Chain A
C-alpha cells in the first residue's frame, strides 16, 4: 500500500466541540489531554489524527459509538469543519478551499453513503439517483440514462419509479450507493452504510460492496462499529478510541500485533482462519522439500478456504507468489493451530 501520493492525507486533524474553541486553538500544538480539555469545558471528538489513504484501497475506520469515527469522516469532506490540522485531497489543501471550490469538489470528486440512507422522500428512485447530476445542471436525458445505469449496477432495475418508503432497508441503501456513485467520485465515503440493516442483509450487502469495488476500484473510506465487517472488507483498518486513532494496519497486522489491550479485545474472538492467508501460516521451504509437495496455493488464499484440504491430506502444500514460484510450505499442524486458535510461537 505505498502509492506515491496518497489520495487523501490527514495531518494532526483535531475537532473540538465546546463554547470557546477558538481561544483553545493555540494550545492544540501541545496535544492537550482529555482531562485538560474537560477542564476548559471542551470535548475533543477527533484528537490529533494523522493518516494517509492510498488510491484504490478500502480504508476502514473502526470504533465504538462515541469514538469520533463519524466526525472524522465528516472532517475529511469538511461537512464538519476541523478545528486544526492539515487536509490534502488530490494534492489540494482542502481546508483552504473556498465555499464555491468546496461545492465543486463535492459535486465531482466525492461520494457519500449514509447510515440511514438519507434518501429524499419526495423523489422516486430514479430522481434520487439523478439528483446529484441534476444540481450540477446536467440535462435530463443524460442524467436519467446515467442514473438508470447506476440503478442496474446495484441490481435494482425495474424499481426506478418506486419511492424510498416502498423499498426495504437493503434496497434503500442500494439506492444510496447508486446515487453516491452516479457522479463517478474519486473518493467514496461510506458512513456505517450497513449498520441499520439486518444481519443477513448486511452480509449480502457486504458481498455486493466487494463485487462493486472489484469493478470500480475506488478509493474508499468505510466507517463501521463492527470489527468483523472491518476485517471482512478492509485493506487497512484504523481503530479509534476517544477521538484518537490507536492503531492502523492490515487485518492481519492487528491480529498479530495488537497495539493495545483495547485492540486485542476486538481481535481475540476473530476467526483467524478467515483473516490469515497462506503467506501468514507457511514456513520457509527447506532445501530438500521442493520435490515432495502435494498441491500448490496462491499466497493470498485465506486459511479457511484450504483448511479441509490441508488437514485431510498427508502431503504438505506449497505456497506460490504472484509469479508462480514456490515461496513456502504449509503443513497440517500449522493449519490446525490456526483453526483452534492456538497462539503457537513461531508459526506466525
Chain B
C-alpha cells in the first residue's frame, strides 16, 4: 500500500556544507579586515531601511478613523465586540470582587455585596474535596486562605474573575477553530503561520493595537490574554483529534455515525485526555498574561506586582507574586484532579456522579448562607485588616541585609560573568557583518531542509535587517543565546541525573512543575533584589524562566530510548557510562534539542519582559513602543522577535526530525 519514503537529503556531498562554510568564514574575516571597502555589507546602511513601522502606524490610524464597513465603522465593530464581552466579565467581577450595583457609576449603592471570602474558600474547598478528597481540599483552601490572610483577596478576585471568563472563551474558540482546521486541511495550512505569529510575537507588541481597537480596560486586557492563550488550544485540538486511532474513526463511519455523532460520541471522548492538556495550558497562559494585561487596565494581582516592581518594593511584589503563583497552583491542581476523576469515574459507576449532580445546589446554598452570615458578621465578608499579616518588611529587610553584607561577592560574580562571557559574545555578534550572518543561516537552512527552508530563514532574517533592527536583534540573540547556553548546561545534566534516579526525578518534577506555574514577572523580583537592573539580572531571570523544558525533554528523551537497545548494549558488555554516552544520549539528542528549542522560545518571550530591568534589545524596543503607544514600532519589533523565534524553531525542528527519522523513532 504505502511505500516507505526515504528522506531526501538535498546535498549528499559533505563538501556541500563545509566548503560554503569556509567561504562564508573567509568572507567574514575579509569584511572585518577591509571594512572601509564595502561598509554596507558590514553594517546595514540607514538609507536602505524600509520605514515599515510608519506604514503600519498609518494603517492603524486609518483602521480606527476612516475604515467604514458600510453600516458601521471598523472601530464601532471592535467596540461593540468589546461591549458584548464586557457583560460576562462584569457579572463575574461583580460576583467575586465589587458586588452588584444599580449602575456602573462609582459610588452607586451596592445592591448585593460580592461573595464573601468564606463562601469562595468554602466552595473551592468543596470542589477540591469532591474531585480528589481531603489532601487536595487542604491544598486548595490553604492557597486561598493565603490570599485572605495576606490581604491579597480583593486583587486576587479581580484576577480570578477575568480568568474564569477568559479561559472558557479561549477554550471554546480554540476548540472550534481546532475542529474546523482538522476537518479542512486548507484552513489548517492558513492557520498554522498565524498561530506561529500569535505565539511568538511578544504580547507587549500587540497590546497597543488592542488598546486602540477595544479601549483601555479589563476587556482589552482579556482580549490580549485570549490572543496569547488560545493558540495552544487550537494546536492541541488538531493534534489530539489526529492522534485518534484510524480504526476508531473507521468504526464510527461503519456504524453509520453522522458527522455530529462522530464528533460528540467518538472523537471528543476518545481525545478527552489530551484535550484537557490544552485546557490546562490555556489556564496557565492566561494566568501568565494576568500581569502583562494589567498594563492595559486589567488591574488585579498583576497590577500589584507591577506597581511594586516599579517602586522597587520587593516585599510587596513578592507577596503579590506569591499570590499569583498560589492561585495558579490551585487552579492547575483542580484542573488536573478534574481530568483524573473523569477518567476514573468511567469505571467507578454512578455513585460519584450523583454527588456531582447535587454539587451546584450545594454551592448556591453555601453562597446564600454565607451572604446572610456575612450580613451579621462583616468579618466573614471582608477579612479584617487588623488580622491581616504581611511579611513585606521582613523581605525588604532581608534584601537590605544581603545587599549590605554580600554586596562584594554578588558584584564579583556579576562582573566575572559579564566580562568573561557576556560582553565578548555581545561584541562578537555586534561586529559580525550582517551579510555573513544571513548567509550562514541560509546555508544551515539549505543543508537541513533544502531551498524552501533556506528561503524562509533568509527572508525572515532579511526582514530584521531591512526594518533597521539588526543591532537590537543581535543583542536579543546574544542575551537569548547566553541564557539558553546556561540553561542547557544546568538543565541537561539535571535531566540526565533525574532520568536515572527515581528519587531525584520526583524532586525534579516538583521543582519544574513549580517553575512552570510561576508567571514570568515573578522571576524578575528576586533577580532585581540581588543584582539590580542590567543584562546580568535579565539573563538570570531568563535562565530561571526557561529552564524547565530543557530538563523535562531530557528526561523524556532518555526515557524514550527503546529498552531493547539498552539491553543489547548491556549484553555486549557496555559499562554504565558507555551506555550513557554511546547509546542513550545520541538517541535522546533529538528530543533534548526539541527541549532546547522550547527553552529558546521561552527565553525570547521572557526577554521582552526583562526589558523592564533595562536591556537594550528588541524587547526594549517593544516596551518603548508600548509606553509611547506607537503601534508600528511595537509590531515591527515584535515581528522581529517572532522572526528570530521562527528561524530557530524551524532549523532545530528540522534537524531533530531528520535525526528521529534516521533513528527510526518516527515514521
A45 touches B265 (CB 8 A): no
Q: Does B106 contact A (CB under 8 A)?
A: no
Contacts of A66 in B (CB 8 A): 1-2
Q: Does A227 contact B (CB under 8 A)?
A: no
A74 touches B250 (CB 8 A): yes
Q: Does B245 contact A (CB under 8 A)?
A: yes
Contacts of A163 in B (CB 8 A): 346-347
Q: Does B417 contact A (CB under 8 A)?
A: no
B-contacting 9-mer, from A1-9, A116-124, A212-220, A284-292: A116-124
B269 touches A71 (CB 8 A): no
Q: Give bound CA distance, A251 to B3, whole Å.
A: 31
Say whether chain B's binding surface is mostly helix, strand, loop, or mixed.
helix
Q: Does B312 contact A (CB under 8 A)?
A: no
Q: Assuming A43-B1, A116-B247, A131-B265, is B256 touching A122 (CB within 8 A)?
A: no
Minimum CB distance partner of A185 in chain B: B254
Of the residues B2, B247, B261, B269, contact of A114 by C-beta under 8 Å: B247
Q: Give bound CA distance, A189 to B2, whole Å.
A: 22
Q: Does B462 contact A (CB under 8 A)?
A: no
A114 touches B256 (CB 8 A): no
B270 to chain A, nearest CB (A): 6
A116 touches B245 (CB 8 A): yes
Contact-residue bracket for chain B: 20 to 34
**Hey, what's the 0/1 contact readout for B316-346 against A, CB within 8 Å counting as 1?**
0000000000000000000000000000001
Contacts of B250 in A (CB 8 A): 74, 79, 112, 114, 118
Q: Which residues of chain B (231-252) have a CB below 8 Å from chain A?
A: 245, 247-248, 250-251
Contacts of A135 in B (CB 8 A): 255-258, 261, 265
Residue in B2, B251, B255 with the greatest tally of chain A CB atoms within 10 Å: B255
Q: Does A104 contact B (CB under 8 A)?
A: yes
B321 to chain A, nearest CB (A): 40
B258 touches A114 (CB 8 A): no
Q: Give bound CA distance, A122 to B269, whole Å.
A: 7
B254 touches A110 (CB 8 A): yes
Q: Does A107 contact B (CB under 8 A)?
A: yes
Q: Does B253 contact A (CB under 8 A)?
A: yes
Q: Give bound CA distance, A66 to B1, whole Å.
A: 5
Q: Does B272 contact A (CB under 8 A)?
A: yes
Q: Assuming A120-B269, A121-B270, A163-B347, is B256 touching A104 (CB within 8 A)?
A: yes
Q: Does A77 contact B (CB under 8 A)?
A: yes
A122 touches B2 (CB 8 A): no
Residue in A105, A111, A122, A163 with the greatest tally of chain B CB atoms within 10 Å: A122
A79 touches B253 (CB 8 A): yes
B346 to chain A, nearest CB (A): 6
Q: Does B56 contact A (CB under 8 A)?
A: no
Q: Does A90 contact B (CB under 8 A)?
A: no
B247 touches A118 (CB 8 A): yes
Q: Does A70 contact B (CB under 8 A)?
A: yes
**Hey, what's the 0/1 contact readout for B70-105 against A, CB within 8 Å counting as 1?**
000000000000000000000000000000000000
Q: Give bound CA distance, A173 to B210, whole Å.
A: 55
Q: Give bound CA distance, A117 to B254, whole Å.
A: 13
Of the residues A45, A71, A107, contact of B256 by C-beta under 8 Å: A107
A139 to chain B, nearest CB (A): 17
Q: Give bound CA distance, A122 to B346, whole Å.
A: 7
Residues of A within 8 A of B (CB): 17, 43, 45, 66, 68, 70-71, 74, 77, 79, 103-108, 110-112, 114-118, 120-122, 131-132, 135-136, 161, 163, 189
Additional pairs, 18, CB under 8 Å, beyond known A68-B1, A115-B247: A17-B2, A103-B257, A104-B256, A105-B256, A107-B255, A107-B256, A114-B251, A118-B247, A120-B265, A121-B270, A122-B272, A131-B265, A132-B255, A135-B255, A135-B256, A135-B261, A163-B346, A189-B254
Residues of B within 8 A of A (CB): 1-3, 245, 247-248, 250-251, 253-258, 261, 265-266, 269-270, 272, 346-347, 349
7 A-B pairs with CB atoms under 8 Å apart are: A17-B1, A43-B1, A43-B3, A106-B255, A110-B254, A120-B266, A132-B255
